[in-house]
Amino acid sequence: MEQYFVKNVISGNSFAIDDPETFKHVAKVMRHKNGDVVYLVDTNEKLYAATITKIDVDNSQILTAVELVDSPSTEMPVAVTVACSLSKKDKIEWITQKSTELGATTIVFFDSKYSIMKWKKNVVEKKLARLQEIAKNAAQQSKRRIIPEVIYVDNLQDLLKYKAEANLVAYEESAKQGEISRLVQTLDETPKSVLCAFGPEGGFAPDEIDFLNQADFLSVGLGPRIMRAETAPMYFLSVLSYKYELTVK
């Protein structure tokens, strides 16, 4: 089942797909024909089955007959922000794709003391556009109802703008000291939104942890093993899915 996001609210029983990229994918890449069905998610996060009625090549439009699909949302019941320290291009792209598959609502990249990569101001827009495209493709592929927003901040102070109801910092030193209960306690309180910050390969500097702790970020351990910078957010997102989305019937 192919899914596409549309930038409109779908109402009534017909819809014209006119976004050039979606048109190209449906008509030229997938070579769909009249009668084929694709799935559309509108800006109200509603899912529709769209049966193609006409492929209008002259106007680059695909006309469809739409029907609301009454299936449960694929979104986590809690809004999750993963805030990751900047790293190499392939790693941040991987983090963006996998965090989207695992249900993140917002993905923030931030510059920190031991980040090995720095973004110059003039490249930020282009890099974010590429990451946003990766998030969109991953969201379509994993049947999300939203496309996570990808954000960049060049300092920890600006990260505070994205604070959630519960704010955590995954701290390797906490893990080394055997801290195993704060994440469990936080999630047991079922916050509506949660943010967790992750350090770079070199870890967080102590003054960065002090700063975040003073801003009400709780230092948490994520188990006894120290994970790579890109693995830790995936562990965190998987824990949230286990906690809030799985159950014994």
Where along the sequence are the contacts to ligand SAM (CB under 6 A)? Answer: 170-172, 175, 198-199, 201-204, 221-223, 225-229, 232
Q: How far is the CB of 239 from ligand SAM (least distance, A)?
A: 11
Q: How far is the CB of 1 from ligand SAM (least distance, A)?
A: 35
Q: Residue 39 or 235: which CB sits closer to ligand SAM?
A: 235
Contact in structure between 194 and 186 (CB atoms under 8 Å): yes
For residue 139, count CB atoms less than 10 angstroms from its CB and return exposed for 0-12, middle for 13-18, buried for 19 or more.
Answer: buried
Q: Residue 50 or 82: which CB sits closer to ligand SAM?
A: 82
Q: Residue 206 or 223: which CB sits closer to ligand SAM?
A: 223
Query: Distance between CA 225 and CA 175 in Å, rounded?
Result: 8
Q: How far is the CB of 197 from ligand SAM (least distance, A)?
A: 7
Q: How far is the CB of 7 from ligand SAM (least distance, A)?
A: 35
Query: Distance between CA 182 and CA 222 in Å, rounded?
Result: 9
Q: Residue 39 or 94: which CB sits closer to ligand SAM?
A: 94
DSSP 36: -
Q: Are strands 14-17 and 61-68 parallel, antiparallel or unpaired?
A: antiparallel
Selection from 164, 163, 107 nearest residue 138 by Cα? 107
